[in-house]
Structure 1
Amino acid sequence: MEIGSLKGKVSDKEWQLRCDLAACYRLVALHGWSDLIYTHMTARLPDADHRFLINPYGLLFEEITASSLVKIDLDGNKCDESPFPVNAAGFTIHSAIHSIREDALCVMHTHTRAGSAVSIQEAGLLPLSQQSTIVVGSLGYHDYEGIATRADEIPRLQASLGNNRFLVLRNHGLLTVGSSIAEAFRAMYFFETSCQIQIAAQAGGGALRMVDPEVVNRNANVRSGTIRDGGAQTVAELMWSALLRKLDRIDPSYAS
C-alpha cells in the first residue's frame, strides 16, 4: 500500500517523533523482539491533549514508516485520516499509561519468548546479572486478566506500574516507559537482556548466584546521565544516534 509522505505536512517536532518511533519499530524487528503484527510502541505528542502515535495495525514492524504511524487520542479516535486500524489491546494499555504518566513520552510493550517466560515464573525477574540490577529497582508486576481490551482493567494496570519504569505483565510480556523514545528503548534492551540471561542461566541447571542487595540498590540509582567529559548528550542519546546510523546503513526508509 502506497503511503503519502507527511513530511512538511506536520510540525517539525511531530515529524521527528514519527521518525524516531518508526525507527523504534524497525529496531524491535531487527533485534527479534517483534511478534508478527502484534505488540506495540507508542509516543505521546508534545501537546496538552495527550494524543499519541501508534503502529498501523496490519503492517510488520519492518514495514512501518514515519508517515504510516497512526495518531489517536485517549479515547482511541483517529486524529487524522489513515487506512489502517488500531490494535484495541494496544490502545487500552498505552492510553492507560499516557493518561497518568506525564513523564512517559514513550511506552514499549513486547511479547518475546524470554520476557514471556520470565513473566510466567513465580519469582519474576531475579537479580542475577548487571542488566537485571538496573531493572529490579524500578519494577512492577501486573497479573494477567486476559487480552487487554476491557476498560475496567485500566486502573489496575496503572496501579501495577505506579512510578516504575519497568513492568512485567504476568503470563504475557514486558513493558517499559521512558521520557524519550531512546530512554524507553534502552530500558527495554536491559529488560529483555536480563530475561534472556536468566532463562539461559536457569537452563544450565546449576545453583544461581544472586547479586548482593546493596549492589542492586546502588545500580538501581544509575540513570542515563550526561557524559563525564562535558558532552551534551545522555548515554541513551549516544546509543540512539548509533542505532540510527545502523538503520540508515541497512534501510533508511523508516524516515519516509
Structure 2
Amino acid sequence: MSEDERATRIALAACYRLLAHHGVDDLTYNHLSARVPSAPDTLLIKPTDMMFGEVTASSLGQYDFDGRPVKDDRPRLAGGALVIHAGLMQARPDLNAVFHTHTTANIGVASQEHGLLMINQHAVKFHKRLGYHTFGGYEFNMSQREPLIKSLEGYRAMLLRNHGALVCGRTLPEAFVDNHYLEFACRGQIAALSGGAAYTLIPDEVAAFGSSQVNFDDPEKTGAKDWAACMRLAYKLDPTFAD
C-alpha cells in the first residue's frame, strides 16, 4: 500500500467517524468517498452494510469507476456508491472527495421550494455556489448518473430535492468542512422558519461581499485550521478508526 493511500484511508475513516459523532448517520445508507492520489482512477468507500460509526481505514474498499474491486473479492459497487460516487469521480477529475448525506435539516431545506436562503452566515459561503438536482427516484439505476453529473456542473455542492445533500471537495478537508457549513446553514434555516415569527434575510449584496471574504481558490487552505482539530478529535474519540 502506498503512503498516500494509507493517509487517505485514515483521513476518510476519520470523516465517517466524525460525522457519526455529530449525528450525521442514516443507518447503513449514504457514503463518503475519496480518490486515491497515486491511483486516480480509483476511489475508497465504505462497505454498503456498514454504519458510519463502524468504519476503519482497513474496512474501506478500493474500486475502479465501473464498480470493480481493485485488490480483493469484495462485491461490486451498486446503487448510490456506483451511480453517485464513482460517477462523479469519473466525470469530475477536479473532485477528490464526495460526501452524500441525509439529515433532517438538509432534507428539510432540499424540500423547500426556495431552497437554501441567505438567512445565516453559514449560508453565505454557498452564495451562488450551490446547485440543485430534481428527485428522479432512488439512485439505483445507471440512467440516473448523467442527470446528476449535469446538475453539478459548475458546482462542488448541491441540494438533492426531497432527498439530501451532496458536498464535494478538491481535498478531503475541504469536503468535510464545507459539509459542516452546509449542514449548519440548513439547521439554522429550519430553526428560523419553524418558529412562525418574521425573519430577516441577508441582502444579496451583503451575501456577495461575505462570500468574497472566503478563500475559495486554494483548496489546501480551505478548512486547514479546522481539519487539524477534527483529526485530534477523531483520535480522542476512538483511535481504532485508523486501524
The bucket for the TM-score relative to the shorter chain is over 0.9
Residue 229 of structure 2 is aligned with which of 213, 236, 242?
242
Q: Is the 8 A contact 2:34 2:172 kept in 1?
A: yes
Distance in 1 separating the partners of 2:78 and 2:20: 18
Name the structure 2 match of 1:141: 132
- 1:68 matched to 2:59? The reply is yes
* Structure 1 residues 253 and 48: alpha-carbon distance in aligned structure 2, compared to 1, 3 A threshold: closer
Aligned to 2:215: 223
Residue 191 in 1 paired to residue 179 in 2?
no
How much does 1:80 deviate?
A: 1.4
RMSD: 1.7
Per the alignment, residue 7 of structure 1 pairs with: none
The answer for the alignment partner of 1:212 in structure 2 is: 203
What pairs up with 1:138-177 in 2 under 5 angstroms? 138-177=129-168
Q: Equivalent of 1:113, from 101, 104, 111? A: 104
1:54–1:86 contact (8 Å) kept in structure 2: no
> What secondary structure is seen at the aligned counterpart in 1 of 2:16?
helix
Aligned-partner Cα distance in 1 for 2:40–2:10: 21
Distance in 1 separating the partners of 2:13 and 2:88: 20
* Aligned equivalents of 1:209, 1:49: Cα separation in 2: 45
Larger deviation: 241-250 or 78-87?
Answer: 78-87
Per-residue displacement from partner, 1:112-148 (whole Å, max 9, x unpaired)? Answer: 0110011111111111000001013210000001111
TM-score normalized by structure 2?
0.94
The alpha-carbon deviation at position 220 of structure 1 amounts to 2.5
**1:21 counterpart SS class:** helix
2:241 aligns with 254
Instruction: Give the direction of change, closer, same or farther, for the CA distance of 1:219–1:39 in structure 2 (3 Å limit).
Output: same
Secondary structure of 2:206 counterpart: helix
Alignment-derived partner of residue 86 in structure 2? 95
CA deviation map 1:170-205 (0-9, x unaligned): 110001111111100101001000110000000111
* Residue matched to 1:123: 114
CA gap of 1:253–1:87, structure 2 versus 1, over 3 A, is: farther
Match of 1:3 in 2: none
Q: What is the CA-CA distance between 1:82 and the residue it aligns to?
A: 5.0
Provide the aligned length of Structure 1 versus Structure 2.
241
With over 3 angstroms needed to count, the CA separation of the structure-2 counterparts of 1:40 and 1:150, relative to structure 1, is: same
Residue 22 of structure 1: CA displacement? 0.3
Q: Does 1:45 align with 2:36?
A: yes
What is the identity, as a one-letter code, of the residue corresponding to 2:131? G
Q: In structure 1, what residue type is equivalent to 2:215?
A: R
SS of 1:124 mapped into structure 2? coil
Q: What percent of counterpart residues are identical? A: 37
Counterpart amino acid of 2:242? A
5+ residue gaps, structure 2: none
3-state secondary structure, aligned to 1:208: coil
Structure 1 residue 38 displacement after superposition: 0.4
Q: CA deviation at 1:85?
A: 6.2
Change (3 A) 1:82 1:250: farther
